[in-house]
Amino acid sequence: MTIVVGYSPSGQGAAALRAGVRSARRRGEDLVIASYQSGDDGRGAPSEQEVRAALAEIDAEGIEVSVRPRSDTDIGEFLLAVVEEVSASLIVIGLRRKSPIGKLNLGAAARRVVLGAPCPVLAVKDDHGADADTRVGA
């Protein structure tokens, strides 16, 4: 089976990547990194080389990993398409920290994934650079 991780070069993307690696180790599954650029800064999805550098920082040694860069589709639709393509057993996404009022509303892409995924969804909070092993539940 395969775990899909929604990854962007951000705090929430890093938190999702760490949680995905821990889940893959624990379950003995492969990882597919669905990489995309968050925000409108004009950059495309992180390259495979950038994703692999992020994986090296969190010691993903021994886990089979493939990278799928985002096409021009909506982020939520892109993640769900990757989940369907690989028949994922789990999808891991990162969420931004929000104000008390903002907590009432998931982001559009996160809501689309949570409601549309055919497998369990693990949503982890952005850890703002703290040690993920103490902040993100596995």
- Domains annotated for the chain, with CATH where assigned, are 2-132 (3.40.50.620)
CA 82 to CA 43: how far, in whole Å? 21
111 backbone dihedrals φ, ψ, rounded to 5° = -60, -45
Q: At what angle do helices 48-57 and 11-27 cross, to 10 degrees?
A: 70
Assess whether pLDDT exceeds 90 at residue 134. no
79 neighbors 62 (Cβ within 8 angstroms): no
Name residues whose C-beta falls within 8 Å of residue 42's C-beta, 6 or more positions apart in sequence.
none
pTM: 0.82
Which of 2-6, 75-79, 85-89, 99-103 has the lowest average pLDDT? 99-103
pLDDT, tens digit, 9 for 90 and up, residues 55-66? 888 888 889 999
CA 95 to CA 106: how far, in whole Å? 8
Mean predicted confidence (pLDDT) in 1-6: 95
The pLDDT score that the predictor gives to residue 32 is 96
Assess whether pLDDT exceeds 60 at residue 113. yes
Assign 83 a pLDDT band (cuts: 50, 70, 90): very high
The pLDDT score that the predictor gives to residue 68 is 92
Token pair of 19 as six digits: 């949680």
